[in-house]
Amino acid sequence: MTTVLYPMTGKRVFVAGHRGMVGSAIVRRLASEDCEILTVDRNTIDLRRQSEVEAWMAQARPHAVFVAAAMVGGILANATRPAEFLYDNLMIEANLVEAACRAGVEKLVFLGSSCIYPKFATQPIREEALLTGALEPTNQWYAVAKIAGIKLTQAYREQHGCDFISTTPTNLFGPEDNFDLAAGHVLPALIRKAHDAKLRGDREIVIWGTGTPRREFLHVDDCADAIVLLAKCYSGREHVNVGSGEDITILDLTRIICEVVGFTGAIAHDLSKPDGTPGKLMDSTKLRSFGWRPRLGLREGIAAVYRWFLEHELAKAAPNAGSQSPGCHVRGL
């Protein structure tokens, strides 16, 4: 049985990024922990501004913090807005970690990303592969910021004795995802592409590159369950991978999405576009040693997300629904 080192019962828990896909999933998961959940709207504080973050943290005095706020996006967003990806993410994580230390936060969990690993890392990727090779150029700006966040938790643990830990989730999908074709990650963008193609009666959809790169995917609710478990049961310097343990080619992923959405056309390839990292399957042995296992399979999860997409995302485009948020944004500040 896994030993609980940090019980959440009765704690004041701040989820930074609570409106984003991961943050909202953590909020849902924490609802069963008998704790007080703290959130703050981006109109109240800007997490990129140190003075605002420190003032709010000093006043709110949370016991635990989950750093799920980040500027996110796919290959195109990284390529067109590199300064924002680097600056915004560096500022958000640095301000939250420093303010948490100053406020005496007992536990902090930083959420990294699987893009921190070298482009040609040995598969499955162990935590020790960090900084052993060159990054994938198409998302290097986001990766550098996330690596810095992991190193921040290690530095504050070593210098100040803070119980700050880092997790490294794989490619996530779920409710509140970004389905924008230009700025979203591959899975939600493919759902949007297949759905739109079905409605237009297109004969084919086009995917970037060869479709041969392999990716690992995990439903965000399974990720949130793992992250809360680690917050309660893990206290160590090294980051912990959070993955499903299974990968799939982008082409096969596209086929599943087309089947779920009901698009029956062909799948074509734009070979002028990059493939990105050839493979990215993480070794989650350390996480599984705590007894965690994912509950949702890939097809089941995609079907659930498509139902959510039909119910929520399309409502944004309805008349009088208001303007849509930009595709590349700082989530849940």
Is cis: bond before 175, omega within 30 of 0? no
Please check whether residue 125 is in contact with residue 117, taking contact to mean a CB–CB distance below 8 angstroms.
yes
In degrees and rounded to multiples of 5, residue 269 shows phi and psi of: -120, 135
Q: Do the beta carbons of residue 53 and residue 45 sit within 8 Å?
A: yes
pLDDT at site 317: 62
Q: What percent of the chain has pLDDT over 70?
A: 94
Catalytic residue among 6, 87, 117, 142: 142
Identify the weakest region by mean pLDDT among 36-45, 168-177, 264-273, 319-328.
319-328
Q: Is 117 a catalytic residue?
A: no
> CA 138 to CA 119: how far, in whole Å?
10
Tell me if residue 83 falls in helix, strand or coil.
Answer: helix
- For CA atoms 218, 224, 227, 229, the dihedral sign is negative
Q: How many CA atoms lie within 13 A of 200 on its CB side?
A: 11
**Does the reported pTM lie above 0.75?**
yes
Instruction: Report the mean per-residue pLDDT for the chain.
Output: 92
Which pLDDT band holds residue 190 (cuts at 50, 70, 90)?
Answer: very high
Here the tokens at position 81 are: 């807005």
Instruction: With a cut of 70, say whether residue 58 has pLDDT above it.
Output: yes
pLDDT(183) > 80: no
What structural domains does the chain harbor? 12-319 (3.40.50.720)
CA distances from 138 to 54, 75, 80, 123, 131 (A): 33, 6, 10, 20, 17
| Torsion angles phi and psi, residue 175, rounded to 5 | -60, 150
With bands split at pLDDT 50, 70 and 90, how would you rate the model's confidence at 318? low
State the pLDDT at residue 182: 78
**333: confidence class by pLDDT, cuts 50, 70, 90:** very low
- 295 phi/psi in degrees, rounded to 5: -105, -25
